[in-house]
Amino acid sequence: MELFAVILVDGLIYGAWLFIVSVGLTLVFGVLNILNLAHGSLYAVGAYTTASAVGAYFAFGGDGFPIGSYAVMIIAAVLVAIVIGPLLERGLLRHFYGRDEVLAVLVTYGVFLILEDVMKLIWGVDPYFVYQPYDLLGSVEVGPLYYVSYDFLVIAVAIIVGLLVWFVINRTRQGKVVLAVIHDREMSQAMGVNVDRVFMAAFAAGVFLAALGGALTAPMISVSPGISVNVIILAFAVVIIGGLGSIEGAAIGAVVVGVARAASVHLLPEAELFIIYLVMAAVLVFRPEGLFQKTQARKI
Amino acid sequence: MTLLRSVPAASALAFAALVLAGFVLPDWAMFLVTMAFAKGLVALGIVGLMRGGLVSFGQGLYFCIGAYVSGLMANWTGITDIFLLSLLGVLAAGAIGTIFGPLLANYRGIFFAMLSLSLSMILYGALSKMTTLGGTDGLNVAAPTFLGYAPEGRPLGLALYLYTSAIVVLVGGLMRGLFNSQRGLIALAIRDNELRIEYLGASVRTAMAINYVIAAVLGGLGGVISGLAIGHVDPEFSFWTTSGEFVFVAILSGYLSIPAVFVGSILLEVVRSFSNLYFPNTWQLALGIFLLLVIVLLPRGLGSLTLRRRKAKEQA
Amino acid sequence: MSELALEAEALHKRFGAISAAEGITMGVPKGAIWSLIGSNGAGKTTFVNMVTGYVKPDHGRIAFEGRDITRLSPRQITRLGIRRSFQIPQLCAGLSVLENMLISLTINGEHPPSFWRPASHATEVDRAIDILERFRIADYRDRLMGELPAGVRKLLDIAMAMSGHPRVMLLDEPTSGVAAEEKYPIMDLVMEALSAEEVTILFVEHDMDIVTRYSQRVLAFYDGRIIADDAPDEVLADPDVQRYVTGEL
């Protein structure tokens, strides 16, 4: 029973993190119909930028007000979004709208390759450590175990991000415009919607969410080359399980994968590396389009 | 020029040229071409899938199976004969492909790409954890023998190169025949309009599954040769970035010409070698820019270059 | 009474709130030539889609020559001998007219498609050109779909469906999008080719001249139901049909 509780808590923490790193991917796919292989790289850029920014914050007297480092993390993510988002979307991706999905995947694969090395050029290959934000909140006792409070902050952020994305899309005027574009791009254009702007905003939001995931993660890990590769694979599994383009699906997919991984860590450690793909394959066998699938229009 | 239109004649000519080149090429270039050809075989399998509209992002799976078969057979049973190892690698990859092919054939586009990717990552994860198979360090592979002939040093490199060239020419010729065949035309039609093909009474799923198994077999064959040429295999063979490079070559080459696949593969290996030499930290950067340029400038791949010229000639 | 080629029994189909079939029942005798009329959304294409397996009815049963085909896939139904053409021609856009025709012949040939026999083997090419000539579109043989007039695309679509020797042929608006002067030639051609093999024909049509000229019997659809079922003149004189279908009242 205790083991069950441990698996559940670990699973939720990991699931929350997974949701944050994958929700941007599903959002971008939902609006732009592009599966962004560079999503993991954007996450890594967010992590590196945060590592540098938080490092600088503490180097220049942030010790007096350590909680301010959280603001620095968010600012770093915003910075990444407004610099890289429009650059990638306007400069490259927009030429591939409405073309073959797989071709667009390859384009983002190219972006992934480029960003990997650009990061090495900027930040080198040595790892960065910014543990301060992670230790700041101390730890909490849950039953017989101690958890770092920061882990629960991740859960809180995941919930806030999820609700915020849901609210913006379903309850605001801008969100309705986005839904209209998703539903029928040509028609929205004819109705006077600036589709270009919707795409740019959606992509920037996706970049922000990826970078935010990186920013949140930076204090928990050693930021080094290769972190993007693992994240992109995880995020893919999550959004495919949930159904490409579905925010609710990403949330459920993240929790499913999180709990599955926690269970595997505690019960069957050998399977940890591939349990996620097993879950994904199992879901797809029964629901080929993922848990939440888009309805398809009649073709003939 | 009409001689080149005949597949057997063109194949024989290509093989003769490759054999001659083998006696001139320096060791490093011979190794480069051997590796490029081995990986080109994997990419050719993807090209076959692409003709039907599918792209597999997980051919590393079969590449890895082939490579491990060559390594394990030598370690466990002492088999080092390259013909036998190739056959075993092909059988293993083909068997696994036959299991997954019919399952994956229900999926299209992104789903197919990502499911095939996840299969290869399952193998990667499993191999990394299996200490009996060397874990993340992988295994050393014994040098191959050729029907009892056991060369060392340069003769070994040359023998591998010649073997690979022969395979490439043979497989290339067979695949050209397949692409031109009735099944080949049906694959192209499926890419355009699956619904119509089903309404003509053919099974799209079967066609896709067959293409998948062929791609698996070619992946296994490429893996065997790569494992033997490098002398070492590790789980990276199944990692998704390895698969990404195969897709890269397939896209670079396009599905119009088979020689283009091997030319594209050599081009990639050359870019990789030179980047490694001169910009050791930025070869991925070079590769990425190269990929984007190809997609923008040659949307139908290298193969479209010769086709364009031929069309221009016909119109003139 | 002659044997039935096609039977539908109490077919129901809903798409969300819209009812596309609400108790469709019919029995089409072998060799009959019937037409289906009705305004857009009346359920004609849904009926064709149900018969050919593209959509499954919520309830009801469909039989072909006495055999239940309700749950079969489009491919299985096609294999049994029910062929269809499409309102929007379904062609392979990246291939030429000749290649489209070759695909059809290859799939419906005596032998299963071969892994080594060239697709453009002279035997098949000659047969394909024969058929294209019969449909008077052989001049377009090397053109791609994007460059073809609508009428040629329509004919190619029908020719591909017919090359499989159907026993029941469903034509979904064979003359829509075709220039007025091409309509009769197209229908003459199709009817001539099909009547030689005693094929049962159902065609969906908006053009009442075509309907009266070619069909022996007319089924008028409205809101997923058949509201009239009789000889062309009788159906067209029906006040309900005039109100809901032809819009004359």
Q: Which residues of B touch C84 (CB under 8 A)?
A: 199
B196 in A contact zone (CB under 8 Å): no
| Alpha-carbon gap, residue C127 to C139, rounded angstroms | 15
Per-residue pLDDT of chain A (300 residues; tens, 9 = 90+): 688 888 999 999 999 999 999 999 999 998 888 889 899 999 999 999 999 999 999 998 888 888 899 999 999 999 999 999 999 999 999 888 877 777 888 899 899 999 999 999 999 989 999 988 898 888 888 777 888 999 999 999 999 999 999 999 888 998 888 888 888 888 888 888 888 899 999 999 999 999 999 999 999 999 998 898 888 888 988 988 888 888 899 999 999 999 999 999 989 887 777 788 888 878 877 887 777 765 444 455
Strand, coil or helix: C141: coil
Q: Are C73 and C135 in contact (CB under 8 A)?
A: no
B208 in C contact zone (CB under 8 Å): no
Q: Does domain C1-81+168-249 have CATH number 3.40.50.300?
A: yes
Q: Which residues of C touch B201 (CB under 8 A)?
A: 75, 78-79, 107-108, 164
Which whole-number Å values give the CA distances from A290 to A241, A250, A272, B71, C232, in the listed order?
5, 10, 22, 38, 49
Q: How many B×C Cβ pairs under 8 Å? A: 90
Give A7-50 as a DSSP string: HHHHHHHHHHHHHHHHHHHHHHHHHH----TTHHHHHHHHHHHH
| Alpha-carbon gap, residue A195 to A181, rounded angstroms | 7
- Complex-level ipTM: 0.91
Q: Which residues of C touch B208 (CB under 8 A)?
A: none
| Alpha-carbon gap, residue C32 to C200, rounded angstroms | 5
A116 in B contact zone (CB under 8 Å): yes
- Residue carrying structure tokens 């049973």: B77
Structural domains counted in chain B: 1
| Alpha-carbon gap, residue A49 to A38, rounded angstroms | 16
Element (H, E) at C227: strand C225-230
Which residues are paired to B233 by β-bridges? B139
CATH 3.40.50.300 segments of chain C: 1-81+168-249
> What six digits make up the tokens of B149?
């002939």
Residue pLDDT, tens place only, A167-180 = 998 889 988 888 88
Strand, coil or helix: B105: coil
Q: How many A×C Cβ pairs under 8 Å? A: 7
Q: Are B262 and B37 in contact (CB under 8 A)?
A: yes
Strand, coil or helix: C117: coil
Q: Which residues of B touch C93 (CB under 8 A)?
A: 192-193
Strand, coil or helix: C23: strand
Residue pLDDT, tens place only, C119-177 = 999 999 999 999 999 888 999 999 998 888 888 999 999 999 998 889 999 999 998 87
**Which residue is closest to B282 within chain A, CA to CA?**
A117
A3 in B contact zone (CB under 8 Å): no
B291 in A contact zone (CB under 8 Å): yes
Minimal CA separation from C99 to chain B, in Å: 8
| Alpha-carbon gap, residue A287 to B1, rounded angstroms | 53
Provide the residue ranges of all domains of chain A, joining segments of one domain with +.
25-225
Q: Which residues of C touch B304 (CB under 8 A)?
A: none
Find how far residue A40's CA is from the centre of its chain: 8
Q: Do the bridges between strand C4-15 and strand C59-64 make them parallel or antiparallel, or are there none, so unpaired?
A: antiparallel
Mean per-residue pLDDT, C184-206: 88
- Residue carrying structure tokens 């890289």: A84
User: Which one of A117, A224, A238 would you mutate to disrupt binding with B, by most B Cβ within 10 Å of its Cβ?
Assistant: A117
Q: Which residues of B touch A236 (CB under 8 A)?
A: 114, 117-118
| Alpha-carbon gap, residue B44 to C236, rounded angstroms | 60
Residue pLDDT, tens place only, B49-79 = 999 999 999 999 999 999 999 999 988 999 9
**Which residue is closest to C84 within chain A, CA to CA?**
A300
> What six digits make up the tokens of C41?
């959304």
- Residue carrying structure tokens 């490092």: A55
Residue B308: domain span? 2-315
> What six digits make up the tokens of B204?
């799209």
| Alpha-carbon gap, residue B203 to B197, rounded angstroms | 7
